[in-house]
Amino acid sequence: MSSFTEPFPRRDEFTVHWPISTRWSDNDVYGHINNVVHYSWFDTAVNGWLMRATGVDVRELPALGLVVETGCRYLAELSFPVDVEVGIGLERLGGSSVTYRMAVFGDLAAEPAS
């Protein structure tokens, strides 16, 4: 079992909360949301928020955003049907890069599921 040295983020640590409705197809054969779906939620939340906050379609920008590193800790099971929110926070803003801190919260929980 892994031990984590940093505390898990709480809902109130994020100023942006992007709502996502789960789908039946998000469940895997074990009856919970498949791990890969969490990454889809992260993509949807960041790009949706960027587009809404700036009024610019990121697909039309001359610069291309790349994901060069990811990591995810799965802390609690989620299962359809559940409404989730992806908390988006800025971890680091560099000259040509952005590092986001993100967490998934199910049904308005204070503690993250991932």
- Model confidence at 88, in pLDDT bands (50, 70, 90)? very high
Whole-number percent of the chain with pLDDT over 70:
96
Is residue 23 packed enough to be buried (19+ CB in 10 Å), middle (13-18) or exposed (0-12)?
Answer: exposed
* Predicted local confidence at residue 96, as pLDDT: 87
* Predicted local confidence at residue 4, as pLDDT: 61
* Segment 90-107 mean pLDDT: 92
Cβ–Cβ < 8 Å for 106, 39? no
pTM above 0.85, yes or no: yes
* Segment 60-70 mean pLDDT: 86
